[in-house]
Amino acid sequence: MDASKKDRYFAQPFERVTPFSFNAEVAEVFDDMVTRSVPLYRENQQLTVDLLSRLLKKNDVVYDLGCSTGTVLYLLGQALKTLDLQLIGLDASAPMVEKARMKLKAFGLKNAEIEKADITQVPFLPCGAVVMNYTLQFLPVEARLPLLKKIYESLRPGGVLLLAEKIQTDAPGLQDLVTDIYYDFKGHNGYSELEISQKREALENVLIPLTPTQQTELLREAGFGPVEMLLRWGPFATFLAVK
Ligand SMILES: C[S@@+](CC[C@H](N)C(=O)[O-])C[C@H]1O[C@@H](n2cnc3c(N)ncnc32)[C@H](O)[C@@H]1O
């Protein structure tokens, strides 16, 4: 289902590393980039499908906010055909939207639509679930609570938000160790030291992680009841928040 080219985006030395953006070149290699950069990426997607297969109702609307190339929507559409879901992917990047539409068309998924939209600016339909994987981390910190509140308001009672994020450690003094094992993970997946260091520089002040405690507090402040961290590998975690 992933047809992207191999990610060599940061392989050559840049004269000046500019802030990371989801441009056409990144969209071209995104599936490979994210799979080699996010630990347990596939497992997280399967977790999403398995959880939502238990929690969704027939005809529910499901959003994927920051859907990138649309893989989660494709997996949900394939696995949960009998629920007749309305799948909606939103992404602010035109090249990502184009990739997602191509992917869903190629696989003949009819109950999914992809819109180019800034998720902080558009209203949401009443829905049964929202998936937001590795996207909230790119929003200014002050924009996160209003968005989480809007998601909460749009969910039906019992509806869920599945939120995957890069995180910082809660424990003082352990951040460097966790960062180091994460860079080992990227090295094991074929990224060179140059690629790792240029990407780290490009993401500075663009991707701002919270601690699990801060993230959980934000979800509670937005109105969510039970919040559980379902998955964690070093600096990445997935939270389930229930309305
Ligand atoms: C790391 S990618 C998300 C990956 C995807 N959810 C997945 O699991 O493969 C972040 C995505 O969020 C999108 N994005 C960032 N800010 C956004 C915003 N304000 N509104 C909509 N999309 C946004 C980017 O264009 C990008 O495609």
Per-residue model confidence (pLDDT) at position 18? 86
Predicted local distance difference test score (pLDDT) of residue 172: 84
Task: Of 217, 238, 218, give the one whose Cα is nearest residue 228.
Answer: 238
Residue 123 Cα to ligand 1 midpoint, Å, equals 17
* CATH, residue 45: 3.40.50.150
Using 50, 70 and 90 to split pLDDT, how confident is the model at 10? confident
List, in order, residues 6 or more apart from 48 with CB less than 8 Å away.
72, 75, 76, 131, 133, 162
Ligand 1 interacting residues, C-beta cut-off 6 A: 22, 34, 66-68, 71-72, 90-93, 96, 118-120, 133-135, 138-139
Tell me the whole-structure pTM to 2 decimals.
Answer: 0.96
Compute φ and ψ for 156, nearest 5 degrees. Answer: -75, 160
pLDDT at 190: 93
**pLDDT at residue 239 tops 70:** yes
Question: The tokens of 186 are what?
Answer: 């990227």
Domain total for the chain?
1
In angstroms, rounded to a whole number, what is the distance separating the alpha carbons of residues 41 and 55? 21
CA 125 – ligand 1 centroid, Å? 19
**DSSP alpha helices (H): ranges in the chain?**
24-37, 41-55, 71-79, 94-106, 141-154, 175-188, 193-203, 212-221
8 A C-beta contact, residue 218 and residue 148: yes
Pocket test for ligand 1, best of 120, 132, 138, 165 (most atoms within 8 A of CB): 138
Domain of 17 in residue numbering reads as 1-243
pLDDT of residue 234: 96
Residue 207 CA, ligand 1 centroid: distance in Å: 11
pLDDT digits (tens, 9 = 90+) for 119-177: 999 999 999 999 999 999 999 999 999 999 999 999 999 999 999 999 999 998 999 99
Ligand 1 centre from 21 Cα, in Å? 10
CA of 227 to the centre of ligand 1 (A): 22
- Residue 77 is predicted with a pLDDT of 95
Residue 43 in this model has a pLDDT that exceeds 90? yes
> What are the tens digits of pLDDT across the range 186-222?
999 999 899 898 889 888 889 999 999 999 999 999 9
Query: Tell me, what's the pLDDT at 45?
Result: 97
- Taking the C-alpha atoms of residue 94 and residue 92, their distance in angstroms, rounded to an integer, is 6
